[in-house]
Amino acid sequence: MEFFGIDFLSFRLNDLIDIAIVSFIFYKLLALMKGTRAAQMVTGLVLIFIIAFVSFWFQLQGLSWLFSNLATVGFIVLVVVFQPELRSMLAQMGHSRIFQYFIRVEERKSLKEVARAAIRLSELRYGGLIVIEKGVGLKNFIETGKKLNAELSAEMITTLFTPYTPLHDGAIIVAGEMISAAACTLPLTQNPRYRKLYGMRHKAGIGITEVSDAVAVVVSEETGEISITYKGYMEKGISRDDFRHRLAEYLKR
């Protein structure tokens, strides 16, 4: 297009769609990194890019050579450094509403047993961490514990979390209608918002939901308080009367 002798680039609908998609990707990346250690690291990366731009602009040969060689391995370094965030992002993409629209989510039969177990643990002041698998498999975390493949029941869960029993430390993972494993080790949350406020059990409950679409139930040993974590968010202080209803809502999301 030419206007008063000046050439302008034509702007088509495809260009608008392209810009919108790229903007959405950057927005989601920034949203995922908000409140994590990655947000602080991005600031450092921006500074490095600014220095690289200045070195090429002013033709600083030494810096230009350095950044040219770093660029060849930079992508691999970024993947290694941001591995937890990338894993979380891919997991969240897999259970986003766009994909879940085609998946029918029904209330699990295990809901009743998990709810009974959590309420009983709360009454006894037994600490507990119950992870309920949804769309994203938890095989890597199951392998860190003792495989059981036992039929799910409130009595079994209560027994596993009884203090001083061999498997009371760690988390149990529920897959379908079975207890897949007990005494499992989970990743701790990297969110600064939670790291200084809670103990290991709560941090692990939040951490597993940051890297998967699982729902985690945490029972405090000190207070008997029941909490639910999902997608890196923790809902605390759920009453025993409301717990089953709240858990059902999270499992249906």
What is residue 82's predicted lDDT score, i.e. its pLDDT? 64
What is residue 66's predicted lDDT score, i.e. its pLDDT? 72
For CA atoms 176, 179, 180, 181, give the dihedral sign.
positive
Closest CA to 226 of 242, 249, 206, 213: 242
For the full predicted model, state whether its pTM sits above 0.95. no
What is residue 107's predicted lDDT score, i.e. its pLDDT? 44
What is residue 41's predicted lDDT score, i.e. its pLDDT? 66
Break the chain into its structural domains and give their ranges.
2-81, 110-252
> 214-251: string of b/e by CB count within 10 Å (b at 16+)?
bbbbbbbbeebebbbbbbbebeeebeeeebbebbeebb
- pLDDT of the chain, 253 residues: tens digit per residue: 444 454 555 667 887 888 888 888 777 776 766 655 566 666 667 777 787 777 778 777 777 777 676 666 666 766 666 666 666 666 655 555 555 444 444 446 688 999 999 999 999 999 999 999 988 889 899 999 999 999 999 999 999 999 999 999 999 999 988 999 999 999 998 888 887 777 899 999 999 999 999 999 999 999 999 999 999 999 998 988 899 999 999 988 7
What is residue 184's predicted lDDT score, i.e. its pLDDT? 96
What's the CATH fold of domain 110-252? YojJ-like (1 (3.40.1700)
